[in-house]
Amino acid sequence: MTSKSLSNSFIFCARVAASDGASVTGVQPKVMPKVKTNRVKYPVGWELIEPTLSELQAKMREAENDPHDGKRKCEALWPIFKIAHQKSRYIFDLFHRRKEISKELYEFCMDQGYADRNLIAKWKKPGYERLCCLRCMQPRDHNFQTTCVCRVPQHLREEKVIECVHCGCKGCASGD
């Protein structure tokens, strides 16, 4: 190769590198790295509801780790269902009944999993204001394709003391 062809190939390589963002001298321009934060930005008012939610979260952890010796298979999940219901009801009452939290905080709690969005949607409908869990209203989970026995009003029941097999509810019919 001649010196002229070497210099032409060098100029060509330098131009290609320059078009890719590198300088002609071969030194890359300094670019600041993007800062990635994994922190969640809490909306205004979070500090008011955070102690109650963290207390319920601690109860949930305790219920999950609680030994279920001597209990039926279905009874082991009852405390977890009750605490999940409490958390959802707490957030529902703060937003819809008392109007103490903002829409932004309410949506934040839904998105972060502090409350069950589907259960709260059912509470807004007439006849489901006291629904304990979503499994109790699904006909596919029950005999004869009906709802759970806890959905029957107390004055229409044959037995006065009953417990739902799914969540341990003693009665969540709206007419009670």
Q: Write down the pTM of the prediction.
A: 0.74
Spatial CA neighbour of 167 closest among 87, 79, 71: 79
pLDDT tens per residue, range 138-174: 888 777 878 888 888 888 888 777 788 888 888 888 7
Q: Which residues, 6+ apart, have CB-to-CB distance to 119 below 8 Å? A: 85, 88, 131, 133, 134
pLDDT tens per residue, range 26-73: 666 777 777 767 788 899 999 999 999 999 999 999 999 999 888 888
Tokens at 142, concatenated:
């029950």
Mean pLDDT, the chain, whole residue set: 83
Q: Is the pLDDT of residue 135 over 60?
A: yes
Q: How far apart are CA 165 and CA 72, in angstroms?
A: 10
In this prediction, residue 21 carries a pLDDT of 52
Torsion of CA 141, 143, 145, 147, to 10 degrees: -70
The residue ranking higher by pLDDT, 25 or 38, is 38
